[in-house]
Structure 1
């Protein structure tokens, strides 16, 4: 679990609510159904037009990674690869056949299966790099959904503020409504800027970081499997892969 993300989400909410209270505006000033419809619903509408259904669905599938990233213990993974290398040296590559189905990670399972099938090392590298590139591109496209929402939300906040000011201008004859009307108009701006900078853009950045980390894990797996296929010494494999720890 990524505790920093949880703390960040809590502090984001606290800064908005606490700031409103300390400024004397109160909690009620943060709620505006009209601003919600214009900014939040409008942002959702924009991003639906912006992305394909598959990318949109995948984006909300991986958003949980900001709290529970699919992290891998690289030290354990290195030890596992070295153990496979020892098995291959003693029993041959077919000795790894029992290890294939034991793997939960489809990428690792596919790589081991290619190894057991006796595929040439360069062919294994080529196939796994295509798989890596495809998955990385898919995940990055999904992370950009939230980046797009972070771009649209502030602009829609301005639109909400302008619409609110138009309503205020229609009530110039009644000064008692001006203050409340202007405050309500700027609530939309708060929704737009706050949602973009406290939620959408940080979520996108965190997802990109997790995706990069996952890609590095897979690069390490590729190097380890290729080393086994080439019959390298287990000690040399461990030494080479240790560079991924830093």
Structure 2
């Protein structure tokens, strides 16, 4: 669990609710079914028009990374690479074949399989870098789904405010309804700007950071696998890979 993300969500809600209460608007001032429909439903509708189905599904799957990012342990990965390096020097590359069933990560298992098969180091690098770039592109596109929602939400909030003011203008003959109507109109603006700046845009940035960290770790794994294929000394491999952790 990412505690900072959880704390951030709690503080965002506290800031919004607390600010509304302290300003005298109260909790009821934050609730407007019409604003919810215009801003939230409208934002989802806009992003569905913009986004391919595969990308949207990927965005839904990686949303959990905001609070539960993939477990990363670079030191453990380096230790595993060094263990494989020692095995390869003692038993040859074919000695690593027994390790394949124990590798859960498909990317790492594919790279290790190529090493066991005796592929040339440059072939290994080329194949893994293509797969890494493709995965990075898919994940970044998914993260940008929330960025796009953060762009649309404030605009839809303005649309909601304008629609609310239009309804107020129809009741100019009844001054008792003007104050409540104007307040309700601006609730849509709060929904739009609040959703964008307190949730959607930060979520997008967080996901992009997780993707960047994954790419960095896998670049390290590529270097380690290539070093094993080249038969380099485990101490040299450890020194090279330690730079990725630093």
User: What TM-score, normalized to structure 1?
Assistant: 0.99
What pairs up with 1:147-186 in 2 under 5 angstroms? Answer: 147-186=147-186
Q: Distance in 2 between matches of 1:162 and 1:172?
A: 15
1:225 and 2:228 aligned: no
Q: CA deviation at 1:71?
A: 3.0
Kept in 2, the 8 Å contact 1:111–1:225? The answer is yes
Partner of 1:202: helix, strand, or coil? Answer: helix
Structure 1, residues 44-64: CA drift from partner, whole Å, max 9, x if none? 000000100000000010010
**SS of corresponding position for 1:101:** helix
Q: Tell me, which stretches of 5 or more residues in structure 1 are unaligned?
A: none
State the match for 2:44 in structure 1.
44
Structure 2 gap segments, 5+ residues each: none
SS at match of 2:84: helix
> What is the CA deviation profile of residues 163-202 of structure 1, one whole-angstrom value per residue up to 9, with x for unaligned ones?
0000000000000000000000000000000000000000
Aligned to 2:18: 18
Q: Which residue of 2 aligns with 1:56?
A: 56
What's 2:120 paired with? 120
Which residue in 2 is equivalent to 1:94? 94
Residue 213 of structure 1: aligned partner: 213
Q: Which residue does 1:33 correspond to in 2?
A: 33
SS in 2 for 1:89: helix
Deviations 1:98-147 (A, max 9, x none): 11111111101111111111111100000000000000000000000000
Aligned residues: 246
Q: Give the aligned partner of residue 7 of structure 2.
A: 7
The equivalent residue for 2:81 is: 81
Asked if structure 2 preserves the Cα contact closer than 8 Å seen for 1:71 and 1:214, the reply is no
Instruction: Give 1:32 shift.
Output: 0.2
Do the aligned residues in 2 keep the contact of 1:17 with 1:27 (CA within 8 Å)? yes
Give CA-to-partner distance per residue, 1:219-246, whole Å, 9 cap, x none.
Answer: 0000000000000000100000000112
Rounded to whole Å, the distance in 1 between the matches of 2:99 and 2:68 is 26
Tell me, in whole angstroms, the C-alpha distance in 1 between the residues paired with 2:235 and 2:41: 57
Contact in 2 for aligned 1:56/1:142 (Cα 8 Å) = yes
**C-alpha separation in 1, matches of 2:201 and 2:113:** 39
Q: What CA RMSD, in Å, does the superposition of the two structures yield over aligned residues?
A: 0.5
Q: Which runs of 4+ in 1 moved over 2 A?
A: none
Aligned to 1:134: 134
Aligned to 2:67: 67
